[in-house]
Structure 1
């Protein structure tokens, strides 16, 4: 039979021509030669919907959740398209009305393999549940859905269309208790968000681990995110099944893998770099850190036939793997993900003082271990950090705080081509030579801040000055009240002369009231001078208070009098109390 063609029909972000015939439906782009073919035997349903680009024909396929949508039809095309669908495929094209209210609140409903968001009993949008990668609860009332990203080469990622990565739904309230069930009579109420999360996990097949998995690793210790998980390996993805959280990780989100021996000589870590990262609540985890004991052994039998091992995996996997646990898991990951596993560079290990140990250091307040690889530097801790050599502009050896010559540690500051600097501190000083030689072999620019020694000398001279000032400050001021050495008395006389010349024209025989007025209006130094004058005037009283002690009391009294005089400006009053 003949086919009917419709021009200027859009598929995603490209426009082309659509043909409907007895063999099926086909669409071809006007530029680029991209085609979409749907055989007649795979058609399951057809819908006609009003969309932004006029009207849309959406078709669903049998035995899969895949669906194709074609936009750009006019209102006059509805009868002709419906007639062709009925004539060639014996299907009724359903006219579907969407909600145009624009509300962001409504109700959800599970219809087959779709999650439908309803506003006023009309669908606003639909989410195919098989496209949901993970579901997480953020708080008690918010559920986030993460979607599987398409597998496409990185070269074409710039021209790729926009993809929905995450959707969050606010679901308040709690579910009522089921009083009819005696077993659940004493159970606590379940939040509506928790019930919705469990439904998503069940419908989207996130938490279920049944099926044809290739191999299962039981109770694997994972330090990031912390917990013990059963790892189920499938042909295109892996599942982490824990007591609280479940994660679905497609292999195309795994960018790099590392096998790193730990500094304790007892454990080995397999680190998996994820892009985009998985999330637990509000925390994102771009790295999975699996920890294995060196002495632990494992036997893994793969659920694959010999033909699949030889053709699909090109002999990188074997039917049975036996050996140390970390090596078995690493070999299975390398074969299924089809990416190499990076290890510490042998060139650096040959130069290091202890080849079996990484370099211990700290990143801000986090302690960890620094590994030098062939193409990068990896910091392994609770918060791993990766630095590629291609992204490094400069590496500087320095010390924070000036760095004294006697310091036993140094700091390694990495200046990237874009972004802020990263400083690894508390590195053993003996490792500087080996790190510098290794970075030079990788053609990385290395600098050493030579100002450390100069700063140390300057700081030393400043310390001496500070010590001399501190020592002088600790000594009490040499001010004598009621006696002292001749040199000190001469200085007092000079001070009295200058004060008398600059002060009021009154004589030394002024009354106490005039003295008090001058003391109130003058600064602290004139007070001290007046104290010396008054202390020297009542000469007959001195032999009565000394009681034959000589100059011992005058040496101790000035310290007390000076301290009191500097603190509150009432030297004479304190002196009279001490004398009485």
Structure 2
């Protein structure tokens, strides 16, 4: 006889932003968001599917305080821990009864430690790590929430968490454990002496018997407690252990960002980077873009992966992974899949065997497994017939690639600038002296922002090519040199016109001054001689006043203002 399903309203699934309705029925547990979309079977908001948990997958149920009231914590066989919170305290008895009635499971009440200690003991449960204080859990870390872990010091282990935009509020992204001390590890080693015979001595006339003898030894070694903690966590969270064999592997690949050499194992849905210090597991869905570009030095080739959320090493984030290869280096690999699997899954995406340049093989593998478009250089060519140009970004030297839909600067930092976000491209020359005439700066301004990027020390001979390329892509280009030259030409023309007007005005003024002088000289002649004017000439000292006045010309009167 089918039993009537039971519903609980305003319940949140795995710390989701949206509340919904949880239903308990004969077939299992279900949850559906009230508004704004639904949640898929992985517990994440997809807007397409409901979340369903079959009855056969339930292992145990626990009741405890949660982030929004009280929480039902469900331990499963294949899906880790499922958290449903938002219950009221009075829901406990009803929920306990329904769990027993539908699934024959006991709902245990679990109390957390409230001492506030930051030291305790780890408990490696089936689906989560429990941090115990006084035999009570202080907090739990589901293994499925762990994205990566690294041994960052002799006694320190770092745990990085997966980011989920569907969760409400701020998210914890990293936690570090200090694990002091050492642990004695006993290993039993069995040594077999293959191919050797040991003769046992017998009595006189007896022949020795030939036997194979084996030896067993037990060795004890001290291992750091942090190392043991780190290895246990890697095993439980399946970091570095992806189900199934790697489809293809590449060893000792040079990474410019983050710096180091890593082995790359490619699996059906993710890849693993294995280095000396750090190991990473990257889902293919994290890879947003793949760039395959040659370096202008003609000796190396770059593969750039843009990933979101970015890779993290401590406080440093790496949204771009930059791989460098020797251009002429070749590799020969074969996919580690059966012919049947290859024909059904990978025939249209990958080749069964590769024997070519390493960067070409890896680019094709990335493209086929991620289903992402491979971005390669477009029509732009520098004066050296290269797809990139040498330049500097602040104090960093690198290369700028004008691609079909974006600018890409490599390597540190790696900058991606899509054309759709560019407001203006400005070309200018800064400073003075000989160097300023040989290089120019390229400033890229972004839409709706006061920020931009200035790429300096670009060869002067590249300016015309870059300007023409930007104009062909519909970008607004502003050439300050041409603007300054036009303004100078306009200023010189205006100055020439002013000089011509000044010359014509000066000629008229001189003529007027001459006329004034002539007219003034006639009017200023005295009608009568002045007998009291003193004599200034030394040669006329013996002459009388009347004689002096008669012999010298008439004196002009001073002009009155």
- Counterpart position of 2:83: 69
- 1:271 and 1:287 map into 2 onto residues whose CA distance is 7
2:471 matches 1:440: yes
Unaligned ranges ≥5, structure 1: 151-156, 458-580
Between Structure 1 and Structure 2, the one with more helix by share is 1
Distance 1:305 1:32, change over 3 A: farther
2:392 matches 1:392: no
- 1:138 and 1:146 map into 2 onto residues whose CA distance is 12
Indicate the SS of the match to 1:288.
Answer: strand
2:105 matches 1:99: no
1:99-154 CA distance string (max 9 Å, x none): 3455555443322331112344321321122331212355666543222345xxxx
* Deviation for aligned residue 1:377: 0.9
Distance 1:425 1:9, change over 3 A: closer
* Deviation for aligned residue 1:184: 7.1
- Counterpart position of 2:32: 28
* Matches for 1:342-421 after TM superposition, within 5 Å: 342-346=375-379, 348-349=380-381, 352-356=382-386, 358-402=388-432, 407-417=437-447, 418=449, 420-421=451-452
- 2:163 and 2:461 map into 1 onto residues whose CA distance is 46
CA contact (8 A) 1:345 1:373 kept: yes
Structure 1 length-normalised TM = 0.68
* Matches for 1:100-119 after TM superposition, within 5 Å: 100-102=114-116, 104-119=118-133
Unaligned ranges ≥5, structure 2: 39-49, 188-217, 489-561
Distance 1:426 1:27, change over 3 A: closer
Distance 1:405 1:132, change over 3 A: closer
* Deviation for aligned residue 1:212: 1.9
Distance 1:7 1:179, change over 3 A: closer
2:174 matches 1:167: yes
Structure 2 length-normalised TM = 0.70
CA contact (8 A) 1:402 1:452 kept: no
* Deviation for aligned residue 1:353: 2.1
1:454-512 CA distance string (max 9 Å, x none): 8xx9xxxxxxxxxxxxxxxxxxxxxxxxxxxxxxxxxxxxxxxxxxxxxxxxxxxxxxx
Larger radius of gyration: 2
CA contact (8 A) 2:354 2:361 kept: yes
Indicate the SS of the match to 1:243.
Answer: coil
- Counterpart position of 1:88: 102
Indicate the SS of the match to 1:200.
Answer: helix
Distance 1:397 1:274, change over 3 A: same
* Matches for 1:433-512 after TM superposition, within 5 Å: 433-450=464-481
* Deviation for aligned residue 1:419: 5.1
Distance 1:184 1:386, change over 3 A: farther
* Matches for 1:43-82 after TM superposition, within 5 Å: 43-65=58-80, 67-82=81-96
2:465 matches 1:427: no
* Deviation for aligned residue 1:287: 1.7
CA contact (8 A) 2:255 2:262 kept: yes
Distance 1:385 1:29, change over 3 A: closer
Distance 1:196 1:261, change over 3 A: same
1:517-539 CA distance string (max 9 Å, x none): xxxxxxxxxxxxxxxxxxxxxxx
- 1:207 and 1:52 map into 2 onto residues whose CA distance is 31
- 1:92 and 1:257 map into 2 onto residues whose CA distance is 51
* Matches for 1:236-251 after TM superposition, within 5 Å: 236-251=269-284
- 2:260 and 2:106 map into 1 onto residues whose CA distance is 52
- Counterpart position of 1:19: 23
Distance 1:179 1:43, change over 3 A: closer
Distance 1:357 1:28, change over 3 A: closer
CA RMSD of aligned residues (A): 3.2
- 2:54 and 2:105 map into 1 onto residues whose CA distance is 14
Indicate the SS of the match to 1:206.
Answer: coil
Count of residues in Structure 1 that have an aligned counterpart in Structure 2: 440
Distance 1:160 1:120, change over 3 A: closer
* Deviation for aligned residue 1:165: 5.3
Distance 1:384 1:71, change over 3 A: closer
- Counterpart position of 1:8: 9
- 1:304 and 1:356 map into 2 onto residues whose CA distance is 39
* Deviation for aligned residue 1:367: 1.5
1:272-316 CA distance string (max 9 Å, x none): 112222123443322212222222222332234566556655812
* Deviation for aligned residue 1:213: 1.6
Distance 1:410 1:355, change over 3 A: same
* Deviation for aligned residue 1:440: 0.7
CA contact (8 A) 1:9 1:70 kept: no
- Counterpart position of 1:333: 366
CA contact (8 A) 1:403 1:452 kept: no
Indicate the SS of the match to 2:238.
Answer: coil
Distance 1:195 1:420, change over 3 A: farther
* Matches for 1:216-295 after TM superposition, within 5 Å: 216-295=249-328
CA contact (8 A) 1:363 1:425 kept: yes
